[in-house]
Structure 1
Amino acid sequence: MSIACCLPVVECVYCLACARWACQHCFHTGGYDSETWGLASPNEFEPVPRLCRLILAVYEDDLEHPQWAPPGGYGIEPRWVVHRKTYEHTGGHAPTYLLYVDHHHSDVVLAVRGMNMAKESDYAVLLDNSLGQRRFDGGYVHNGLLKAAEWLFDAECDVLRDLLERNPGYTLTFAGHSLGSGVVAMLALVAVHNRDRLGGVERKRVRCFAMAPARCMSLNLAVRYADVINSVILQDDFLPRTDTPLEDVFKSLVWVPDVVLCIQLAMPFMWKVPYRHVYT
């Protein structure tokens, strides 16, 4: 049998194997995690739309003249924005974020945007991980996300403490989407462990809303901090429900198409090789 004739078969087998792996690891497991959960009350769900709009506002260059605002706007007061940090400010240590004092809801909010596909620094944060590499409070967490959260906490803890002291009784909320949700989940852990640096704020006043979060901590930590961290997932959203580490998913998205493309590009040249039999 010729080598050229084997190549289409090899390519098909390879693609089928990749598809089987994806089905087993990305779709089958983890899909029924919330099957027995109760429904959220109106009071529990109330912050979600408001915080989603605030996260979306992080993407804007000018909140006075927004380009991507949904109908009705973001529902925020630009004058209550404490500051915004871009990639130039973070130096690639964390995604861009916005610090906002919501006086309507007595809430100090730090909102972090999702992954910027054009920024190498976001990939560096995501891919900086290996199973069991980073321990935290008796469990395991994503190394790159924790480092980003620690950098962000060191950069903003003095400002957060000042805002909480000037607004007694306000809650402290961390909100993020996608990559940002992983950062704020880690940020909530760090904040709870360093409440003294925030002026001794009570644990019950610290909240986190992670929109479409990746799995970034071990189960024992997720249970222990369930009173602080709220995961918001839209139905069967793929990334939050898969048991495959997020960095492995993105690595697969990078190398699998490359391998298939290389095989396809090589096919015309392989068909032109002289007919030879391979004997065993």
Structure 2
Amino acid sequence: MSIACCIPVVECVYCLACVRWAWRRCIYTAGYESENWGLATSEEFDPVPRLCRIILANYEDDLHNPIWEPPGGYGLDPDWMMVKKNHEHTGGRSSPYLIYIDHKNADVVLAIRGLNLAIESDYAVLLDNKLGQTKFCGGYVHNGLLKAAQWVFDTECGVLRELIEKNPNYRLTFAGHSLGAGIVALMTIYALQNRGRLGNIERKRIRCFAVAPPRCMSLNLAVRYADVINSVVLQDDFLPRTTMALEDVFKSLICFPCLLCIMCLKDTCTLEEKVLKDPRRLYAPGRLYHIVERRPLRIGRFPPIVRTAVPVDGRFEHMVLSCNATADHAIIWIERESQRAFDLMLANDRMMEIPGEQRMERKESLAREHSEEYEAALQRAVALDIPHAQASYGTFLDAEEGETSGGSSSGTAAAAAATSSSWSFGKMRERLDSFVDRMFDVDEFGHMVFKKSVP
């Protein structure tokens, strides 16, 4: 009898817990994640709208007679298109891509389009993954995306090397959207491990912009390569926040809202310490640029702002219950809002009337701030005892040698800090040596290990 009397109490507690969870989920908005991040500048965000238009050019059969061009056009010269391949050329190994040499901006661009809902081979690439299936460069990555990235790079590295050698002052940029974003993010790491095949191009000349990327690499890799990989996310986009296996998402499209609710409940009830300690959990790659254009309990879109950071904990961990969760994933909307955000940045710069000399000083200051933020993210990863994060510090100063040799990438962390024009290498080395001495000991086998108690 006493047990039966307790049943209504249990039901009430359960209902209250569900109401509390639903309330927390409904008031949770994407702006909370980046509210403490710094604002991006026009100099660092400048390539994003342009690269979005290059990615969109993949959808055109003939750039001389475009059909789907965005407002203002693509801004591309069809004669500068070096390579353009569709699904027939890739044989289902990758999404369609193109190679474009941008003489106006001194850039060699390899751009890959996103998932085509009507092509089964794109699904095959995305669904080719299991938890902890593929270990790469000291971390875990998405298996299907890695194979696609390796295939594209192996196929086109000869063309890229030729273009780089003919234009020694140009940068090499990998750009992609959605499925293509995951491919280019892993291709960047693969290219850094095989820079010899690109004519030993300097690390600072390689960069990646992953637009609306899937979670494709473990946290230690996402932080370690934040100096060369940049992710762009529009407001509530669901894909960078999808913590479950991507296979479950696309197998459950029929009941996608139900799946979102279930995974939101799972994320809410999972301890953050457990999440960060899972080495197989995948994350959105690199430095994050979050375009925010809507506010809680407001109607309509507001002038977009762009916040940026290299977060470790709180890295797009929660799904957002929003009617825009899928619409914000569209490359067309991302291109429009990123262009609006960039135009606002330029307008603010003109209002401030920054002279050319001060603009150069601001670029140097920006490079220094990014280096400091990147170093702080690496320190935070070590402090949280994230798996494999210590290995990146063990060979911190040997990143260039590790990449050139094509060996393990455990030494690829923080090479961008050494490229800052404001810091000398000697000063950088002194600071890093001091940090390593405080954080690590040498065991009996001569290996660096994380100190149990850090002063």
* Letter of the 2:108 counterpart: V
Assess if the C-alpha contact under 8 Å between 2:130 and 2:245 holds in 1.
no
* CA deviation map 1:127-161 (0-9, x unaligned): 00001100111100000000000000000001101
Matches within 5 A, 1:84-95: 84-95=84-95
C-alpha contact (below 8 Å) 2:29/2:236 kept by paired residues = no
TM-score, normalised relative to structure 2: 0.49
Q: Following superposition of structure 1 onto structure 2, how do residues 37-56 of structure 1 map, counting pairs within 5 Å?
A: 37-56=37-56
1:164-175 matched pairs, under 5 angstroms: 164-175=164-175
Question: Offset of 1:236 from its aligned partner?
Answer: 1.8
8 A contact 1:30–1:243 mirrored in 2: no
1:111 paired residue number? 111
- Tell me if structure 1 keeps the 8 A contact 2:116–2:122: yes
Residue 184 of structure 2 corresponds to residue 184 of structure 1: yes
Identity of aligned residues (%): 68
Number of aligned residues: 236
Letter in 1 for 2:241: R
Corresponding residue number in structure 2 for 1:125: 125
Q: Does the 8 Å contact 1:30/1:242 carry over to 2? A: no
Structure 2 matches for 1:1-280, cutoff 5 A?
Answer: 32-253=32-253
- Classify the secondary structure of the residue corresponding to 2:126: helix
Cα shift at 1:24: 10
Change (3 A) 1:24 1:176: farther
Cα deviation for residue 22 of structure 1 reads 11
2:319 match:
none
Contact 2:249 2:256 in 1 (8 A): no
Deviation (angstroms), 1:220: 0.4
Higher relative contact order (CA 8 A, sep 6+): 1
Shift of 1:34: 3.3
Change (3 A) 1:23 1:195: farther
Letter in 2 for 1:230: N
**Is there any run of 5+ residues in structure 1 with no aligned partner, and where?**
1-20, 258-280
Taking the aligned partners of 2:144 and 2:244, their CA distance within structure 1 comes to 17
Counterpart-to-counterpart distance in 2, 1:200 and 1:178:
29
- Give the secondary-structure state (helix, strand or coil) at the position aligned to 1:72: coil
Structure 1 residue 180 displacement after superposition: 0.7
Root-mean-square deviation (CA, aligned residues, Å) is 2.3
Question: In structure 2, the residue corresponding to 1:126 is in which secondary structure?
Answer: helix
Distance 1:133 1:180 in 2: 20
Q: Is the 8 A contact 1:215 1:245 kept in 2?
A: no
Distance change (3 Å), C-alpha of 1:100 and 1:23? farther
SS at match of 1:71: coil
Deviations 1:229-268 (A, max 9, x none): 10000112111123223232112215779xxxxxxxxxxx
Aligned residue for 1:116, secondary structure, equals coil
Contact 1:125–1:144 (Cα < 8 Å) also in 2: yes
Uncovered stretches (5+) of structure 2, i.e. residues with no partner? 1-20, 258-455
- In structure 2, give the amino acid aligned to 1:192: L
Change (3 A) 1:76 1:220: same
Runs (4+) of structure 1 exceeding 4 A deviation are 21-25, 27-33, 254-257
| Structure 1 residues 96 and 158, CA gap change in structure 2 (3 angstroms) | same
